[in-house]
Amino acid sequence: MARLPEGRREVRPSRRAMGERRKPGFGPRLNVSVPISFGLPLVVVGLFVLITAASTDRLELWIIGGVAAAGGAMLFATGKRL
């Protein structure tokens, strides 16, 4: 393969040339990370389902509510910006 001319840039620069990749976010205006924006609503929905499970005493709701609340808490804990 022929070498590129000196003034021409690479189409895909190497990872070292690009530097560190940024984490996903909704931009600097809102300053809220993706894990926080999905984790907090999951915690709220999970707690609501757990309250519903306590009043109806159904096992499926306990499981769904516990998984949603725990998953949302883990997502919320991994967020760096708020």
The tens digit of pLDDT for each residue in 6-46 reads: 666 656 656 565 556 666 555 555 566 778 788 889 999 99
Torsion, Cα 81 21 78 42, to 10 degrees, reads: 90
Write down the pLDDT at residue 82: 45
Q: pTM of the prediction? A: 0.58
Domain ranges of the chain: 29-78
Write down the pLDDT at residue 70: 95
Write down the pLDDT at residue 35: 81
Which of the four pLDDT bands, split at 50, 70 and 90, describes residue 77?
confident
Provide the residue type at 33 as one letter: S
